[in-house]
Structure 1
Amino acid sequence: MRWLALLPWVALTGHTLVNAALLRRPVRGATVTERVAVLLPLRDEADRVTPCLQALLGQRGVPSLSIFVLDDGSTDGTAQVVRSLEGDRVTLLTGSALPEGWLGKPNACAQLAAAASDADVLVFVDADVVLAPDAVAGGVALLRSAQVTLLSPYPRIVGAGRLVQPLLQWSWLTFLPVRIMERSSRPSLAAAGGQWLVVDRAGYDQAGGHEAVRDDVLEDIGLARMVKRSGGRIALADGSRLADCQMYSSWRELADGYSKSLWASFGSPVGAGVVVALLLALYAFPAVAAVPLLAAGWGGAALWALTAYGIGVLGRVIAAAATGGRTWPDPLAQPVSIVLFAWLVVRSFARRRAGLLTWRGRAV
């Protein structure tokens, strides 16, 4: 019976393996003939926009490509950096004042989409993303071959946060039935990452665009849900071979970034508590329990706990291998990663209750 109790870990890691095997990936060397607009919102990104914009200017396989950049009230010289890199395919926009009831990123993305009125496909990219030369063409080609309205190719995450950042891809590969999500019309069954989104323009407009998610902290997931509500389809993909993303450069920046939005990921504090408790029970408790069990002479129970821990680590290895992450030794720290994630969830709710959530100088 003790070994039968390992079924939850076996099932979840098995689900990770199935999802990894079915994961969509943009093709290399694609060519598309549609009118494509790359949309880049910027706010105080002078120190990291250069690699992103240079990569956009180097795109190939898209003869009809335009690039729109919006400076959203930067105070660090972002606009000057963009001007120094501008080519004839770059249009630099100055963002308007933030309207009542809007958050900054949805407002910036809405202005960019309005400027790209002639495009057939919109490609939203964050400043911390560096695309390979054939990434835009590959993303658009996959959008069309998968016959979806919105495609979310997850980039390879680099930089700070090796203990926490890999949980992003691992979580949806482990707990989200990816292909069922694609076929389901339920808005609640949706996932997306705003670092790189590829969207059919007609479907974007039908879903209400970013105006429909103007006050949503998780505007990427909100947009995916609106696409489903309007009758469209969404898909996730592994974009790690075509894009790198350095979301945070320090632990403090990561903690603030996660705290800004984690509270909105669970629906309620009770829901967050249930999820965090389940993660701790499944992926932290076995490793912690193994040592005292062994010290108490309960060798069989200690072996069970270590096996549960090992199966959990295997799930992290599978997820990392499928999404361009580090397969070794980082997955061994899965219990530490889960504990840190739990702390970030608590911090997010505490800072929201205290009214302390800000991002790029704006209240959230």
Structure 2
Amino acid sequence: MIGVLALLVAVAALTAHTWVNATRWLRRPADRPVEVAEAVAVLLPLRDEATRVAPCLRALLAQRGVPRLRIVVLDDGSTDGTADVVRAVAGGDPRFTLLTGAAPPPGWLGKPHACHQLAARADPAATALVFVDADVVLAPYAVAAAVAELRAARVTLLSPYPRIVVATAADRLVQPLLQWLWLTFLPLRAMERSPRPSLAAAGGQFLVADRAGYAAAGGHAAVRGKILEDVELARAVKRAGGRIALADASRLAACRMYADWPALRDGYSKSLWATFGHPGAAAAVVAALLLLYAAPPLLAAGALLAGAPAVAAAAFAGYLLGVAGRVVTARATGGRWWPDALAHPVSVAFLGWLTLRSYHLRKRRHLTWRGRPVG
């Protein structure tokens, strides 16, 4: 019983931390018309995105509140006609530039190299750089609001996290864990104030950077070989003396990260090993997550069958507190919670399996993404 109560207290404390982060410390850029006077460059790297880039481009071309906006797109060796789709959608808009990317040199991964090329070719007058992925669709004032929040927060790098669009059962099990993990385990206020590079998080789907601070941190050249280039860029900013912040941009941006289960599985597998680093650390973290969030419903069922209703009640309360953390996260980030949050133990088990798969594939040197080796 003591062990079950200890689990209950631990989950309760983590869920309380989730609530404090979500209600007190999570930044929320304005979702109303905003105007910024500074020059802004929106930078979009593309590789084989012909089937899904059009909504992203149309949303970029429809941005308001940024009179000095320039959009730079880089076609990174696409073989599916991505560049043709980009030209057709852009339609000769004078704010728009399409670049043909060079192959990444030794020591570089594809996305950092693409972003490096984009930053180098951005309008020299631009004082803010906005990196966007092809699967992100922005609201009309998203860029203006994000840049305004960057300046209001007085940070070098702002990560406005989009609303994650879920469509399949796999999406609903796995994708909400992204926001849940950082809202539950990352002290947002301390992350903003602390200079420690280890206390950093960012999402590369939508990133806003002060150009001078980005350059001082070394830009994407500083993270050239990193699979988690977004998080590593945040750490580089901190090492250079800058500050970072996360924000909820669920009212400003939406993102459908993966089209199907194989893409989702492979997308997480390519990077989870880099999230945890040493396999021993990964094993410890996954074991703790399984103990805290997957074990309680099993313990509750076992205790009920063994005729220990008090233990069953405590374990079931632990399960409900874990579900409550998912509900808080969903409501704070524009996600769906019913009935998805009830399957939180299954979601955590999926994360454990994906982590194991990631290390297994890396050990066998089978990790690739978009036709390029990544680990």
Q: Same fold (TM over 0.5)?
A: yes
Does 1:113 pair with 2:124? no
What code does the residue aligned with 1:57 have? L
Per-residue displacement from partner, 1:242-285 (whole Å, max 9, x unpaired)?
A: 00000001111100000000000012100000000000000000
TM-score normalised by length of structure 2: 0.96
Does 1:134 pair with 2:141? yes
* CA displacement at 1:98 relative to structure 2: 1.4
Does 1:169 pair with 2:179? yes
Aligned to 2:54: 50
Aligned to 2:294: 284
Does 1:89 pair with 2:95? yes
What code does the residue aligned with 1:92 have? L
Aligned to 2:159: 152
Say whether the 8 Å CA contact 2:5–2:314 is kept in structure 1: no
The DSSP-based 3-state class of the residue aligned with 1:46 is: coil
Unaligned runs of 5+ in 1: none
Per-residue displacement from partner, 1:318-353 (whole Å, max 9, x unpaired)?
A: 000000011211000000000000000000000000
How far, CA to CA, are the matches of 1:231 and 1:4 in structure 2?
43
Does 1:331 pair with 2:333? no
Alignment of 1:1-364 (within 5 A): 2=2, 5=6, 6-21=8-23, 22-27=25-30, 28-86=32-90, 87-116=93-122, 117-159=124-166, 160=168, 161-364=171-374
What code does the residue aligned with 1:104 have? G
The DSSP-based 3-state class of the residue aligned with 1:155 is: strand
Say whether the 8 Å CA contact 2:159–2:245 is kept in structure 1: yes
What code does the residue aligned with 1:89 have? R
Say whether the 8 Å CA contact 2:136–2:255 is kept in structure 1: yes
What code does the residue aligned with 2:59 have? A
How far, CA to CA, are the matches of 2:206 and 2:68 in structure 1?
19
Aligned positions, number: 364
What code does the residue aligned with 2:144 have? A
Moved over 6 A (4+): none
Per-residue displacement from partner, 1:78-107 (whole Å, max 9, x unpaired)?
A: 000001012221100000121111000000
Per-residue displacement from partner, 1:102-148 (whole Å, max 9, x unpaired)?
A: 00000000000000133100000000000000000000000000000
How far, CA to CA, are the matches of 2:277 and 2:361 in structure 1?
16
TM-score normalised by length of structure 1: 0.99
How far, CA to CA, are the matches of 1:7 and 1:339 in structure 2?
21
How far, CA to CA, are the matches of 1:194 and 1:98 in structure 2?
19
The DSSP-based 3-state class of the residue aligned with 2:173 is: coil
Give the aligned CA root-mean-square deviation in angstroms. Answer: 0.9
What code does the residue aligned with 2:15 have? T
How far, CA to CA, are the matches of 2:302 and 2:236 in structure 1?
49
Unaligned runs of 5+ in 2: none
What code does the residue aligned with 2:45 have? P
How far, CA to CA, are the matches of 2:194 and 2:347 in structure 1?
31
How far, CA to CA, are the matches of 1:13 and 1:247 in structure 2?
26
* CA displacement at 1:4 relative to structure 2: 5.0
Per-residue displacement from partner, 1:35-89 (whole Å, max 9, x unpaired)?
A: 0000000000000000000000000000000000000000000000001012221
Per-residue displacement from partner, 1:159-195 (whole Å, max 9, x unpaired)?
A: 3411010000000000000011000000000000000
The farther-off stretch of 255-264 and 24-33 is: 24-33
